[in-house]
Structure 1
Amino acid sequence: MSISRRGFLQGRLRPDSDALRPPWVARGDMFEEVCTRCGDCLRVCPTSILIAGGGGFPVVDFSRGECTFCGDCVTACKPGALMRRSESVAPWNVKAAIGDACLARRGVECRVCGEICGEAAIRFRPTAGGVAQPQFDAGRCTGCGACYAPCPVGAIALTKNVEKHE
């Protein structure tokens, strides 16, 4: 793991590994050294989910919308911090997760996340005498974030999956 000079001087002895970077990060552990923080990817994002995070580096904010995986951020990235290798490689290793605050899990009818999920990664299974329960299929989830903002109780989290996509 590489430590940037800026990170060292700011007292960060490891890169900001918790930050959710844009899709198609070319070199995850070297991102902060390659990215010039020019902001071009922020300006071209059609859903405006890319914002300047710590140190001015781009991060994803799903409260603003979803990622359509249009690739505009990659095209705008002249330093090559974002790079689409091939169509068969996933844009990132982000997946949604449904937390315990979920209304349906608490017995209140709600299917907002399932209705908005274009990949059908979240479906609702009817239960006898109760509220339909969410069923999550991680294999179908693209990590687009469409389910995040509409959730009325903030029960959806989007985090980096432990699996590596190369």
Structure 2
Amino acid sequence: MAAPDISRRNFLTGRARTAPPPLRPPWTREETITSACTGCGACIDACPEAILSPDSRGRPVISFADRECTFCRACAQACPEPVFLDASERAFAHVAAIEESCFAKTGVHCQSCGDACPEAAIRFRPRIGGAPLPEIEAAQCTGCGACAAICPANAVSMRAAESNP
């Protein structure tokens, strides 16, 4: 469950905006992290890509700042608790999304995210008089973070997947 945003503006206007849940390791869901993770850090230590770090309770969160997930399952193999789902399940409950700060949306020709995507889930729609615009095919996106790690504008974020294919 996401923590509510209790900023002064939201408090005074009566709005309660909730922050998105943290990104968790592959083959986990927030419910299993909450119910079964002890915060031992075994999965964090086992990750060869070093994309996992502990949250305030010692539970793993993922950051795609420099690298992507390679789906090696080292985190799942190291975990002594029943936190990780079977490998036949969808690895992540999120997919990539392109933000407005994308260079292509501001007129600069950039296709870094599409070049980095191992699933070819990012296509570029040509437009007259401007750079081609990236579009993500959510059904093909694995949520690995390769596009987020490479984006020079930090314009790739992750959002909840609409459905788990």
TM category, shorter: 0.7 to 0.9
Measure, in 1, the Cα distance between the counterparts of 2:145 and 2:38: 26
* Corresponding residue number in structure 1 for 2:50: 48
After superposition, where does 1:26-37 map in structure 2 within 5 Å?
A: 28-37=30-39
* Matched pairs, number: 148
SS of match in other structure, 2:84: coil
Measure, in 2, the Cα distance between the counterparts of 1:57 and 1:114: 31
CA deviations 1:51-88 (Å, max 9, x no partner) are 1112111001111311111111111111111232x52x
* Corresponding residue number in structure 2 for 1:154: 154
TM-score (norm 1): 0.80
C-alpha RMSD of the superposition = 2.1
- Structure whose residues are more often strand by fraction: 2
Tell whether 2:26 aligns with 1:23: yes
SS of match in other structure, 2:26: coil
Q: Is the 8 A contact 1:124 1:134 kept in 2?
A: yes
CA deviations 1:77-130 (Å, max 9, x no partner) are 11111232x52x211211000011111111111111011111111122333333
Measure, in 1, the Cα distance between the counterparts of 2:116 and 2:147: 6
Give 5+ residue unaligned stretches, structure 2.
2-18
Give 5+ residue unaligned stretches, structure 1.
2-15
Measure, in 1, the Cα distance between the counterparts of 2:30 and 2:22: 11
Q: Is the 8 A contact 2:66 2:150 kept in 1?
A: no
Tell me the amino acid that sits aligned with residue 39 of structure 1.
Answer: G
* Corresponding residue number in structure 2 for 1:105: 105
Tell me the amino acid that sits aligned with residue 33 of structure 1.
Answer: S
SS of match in other structure, 1:131: strand
- Could you list the runs of 4 or more consecutive aligned residues of structure 1 that deviate by over 4 angstroms after TM superposition? none
SS of match in other structure, 2:144: coil
SS of match in other structure, 1:113: helix
Q: Is the 8 A contact 1:97 1:158 kept in 2?
A: yes
SS of match in other structure, 2:149: coil
Measure, in 2, the Cα distance between the counterparts of 1:146 and 1:69: 12
Q: Is the 8 A contact 1:20 1:160 kept in 2?
A: no
Following TM superposition, by how much is the alpha carbon of 1:30 offset from its aligned partner in structure 2, in angstroms? Answer: 4.2
Tell me the amino acid that sits aligned with residue 108 of structure 2.
Answer: V
Q: Is the 8 A contact 1:48 1:64 kept in 2?
A: no
Question: Alignment identity in percent?
Answer: 42
